[in-house]
Structure 1
Amino acid sequence: MHELARRVRELIVATDSYRRTMAAAVGVSTTEAAVLGHLLHDGPQSPSVVAARAGFSPAAATSLLDRLEQADLVSRRAHPRDRRRLLVELTPRGRAAITSIFSMFSDDLRHALEHADPRLVADPELREAVTELISAMAAALRTRAGDASGVTRAVTEAVAGSATADAGSVEASGGADAP
């Protein structure tokens, strides 16, 4: 299990680097690129949905949307059924940019699959099992990320336990000069 965790961590680190490179190519932050991706895959969204997906306050999301609108990547328009509300949508330039990034991403994954274990290419059931595993791992990571207070509590307890163990180790070895 530790080897799997190490390899998934390796994937996450590579993904972070990949996301930074792709976002920089468009001239946006990774968060802004993620917003463009949400709009591509989920369609036009209200500013409040954009804020929630980005984990931003409404004021911070307004600033983000202002930057994306100034870069001609998104536009805000009146909601078709409720003129008091707004929808954020990709502009043609924004759609071209994020579609290009997603196309490269798909190509890179296809290339990785072609160079992986041949059974993954030949066996659709095995490929489906791997896909389900990735989906389950993503869900588990999202669940943990959604429990910020639980994570903070667990880390705080581990650090406190480590400090207590270190203090006990120093006392047992005869003082602060112990190796």
Structure 2
Amino acid sequence: MDAHSATSVHAPAAAESDRTGPPVRRATALLREILEVSEDFERHLGRELTVNPTDLQAMEHLLMSGPLGPSELSRRLGISTASTTKVVDRLVDLGHVTRQAHPTDRRGILVVPTESSRRRALSTLMPMIMGIDAELDAFSADEQSIITEYLERVVAVYRSHIGP
């Protein structure tokens, strides 16, 4: 760990002013920054795959969950089935997905990511994910446990503020 990293990791919990909100501690401000950088990374990934944000969101669901029916994809995206059809059409045209017959429902179809698109997305995602994971190596097992507990609590706070 370099001197800059050590300073930022172990800096005191001094209050910091968020650009638009009340003063918060450095860790809370950094969580906000992580969210912003994550959005920047998603835009970068969308450019790499030449897809818009909704199409990228559909791709993320398909890459994480595997093949999905159009209705399930529509539900996950929170958009109408007609809009989902347009998303799938664009992804098919770009070579990111195919439509395949459902194995157990002869009237159904599944939207399946292509192997080339999966490789392309993962070639951008995996170095970032592995880089983040490797940062934990600089911390002891006890410190990693504390970091994990803190992040679990942050996730729980987010979830507690999401309406039904």
Please indicate, yes or no, whether the TM-score normalized by the shorter chain is above 0.5.
Answer: yes
Q: Deviations along 1:120-158, whole A, 9 cap, x unmatched? A: 2x32x43244234334423542453445xxxxxxxxxxx
In structure 2, the residue matched to 1:134 is 151
Q: TM-score, normalised by structure 1?
A: 0.68
Q: Deviations along 1:81-124, whole A, 9 cap, x unmatched? A: 0111111111122211222122122233145445xxx3x2x32x
Secondary structure in 1 matching 2:121: helix
Q: Supply the distance in 2 between the matched residues of 1:84 and 1:140 (Cα, whole angstroms).
A: 42
Q: Supply the distance in 1 between the matched residues of 2:92 and 2:160 (Cα, whole angstroms).
A: 32
Structure in which a larger fraction of residues adopt helix: 1
Contact conserved, 1:36 with 1:98, CA < 8 A, in 2?
no
Contact conserved, 2:136 with 2:144, CA < 8 A, in 1?
no
How many aligned residue pairs are there?
141
Contact conserved, 1:47 with 1:88, CA < 8 A, in 2?
yes
Contact conserved, 2:45 with 2:121, CA < 8 A, in 1?
no
Alignment-mate amino acid for residue 42 of structure 1: S
1:1-179 alignment runs, 5 A limit: 2-3=24-25, 4-110=27-133, 112-113=135-136, 118=138, 120=139, 122-123=140-141, 125-146=142-163
Higher relative contact order (CA 8 A, sep 6+): 2
- What percent identity do the matched residue pairs reach? 28
Q: Deviations along 1:36-93, whole A, 9 cap, x unmatched? A: 2221221111111111222211111111111001101011111100111111111122
Change (3 A) 1:5 1:94: same
Structure 2: stretches of 5+ with no match in the other structure: 1-14, 16-23
Secondary structure in 1 matching 2:110: strand
Change (3 A) 1:142 1:62: farther
The 10-residue stretch of structure 1 (73-82 or 104-113) with the greater mean CA deviation from structure 2:
104-113
Structure in which a larger fraction of residues adopt strand: 2
Contact conserved, 2:62 with 2:113, CA < 8 A, in 1?
yes
Q: Radius of gyration: which is bigger?
A: 1
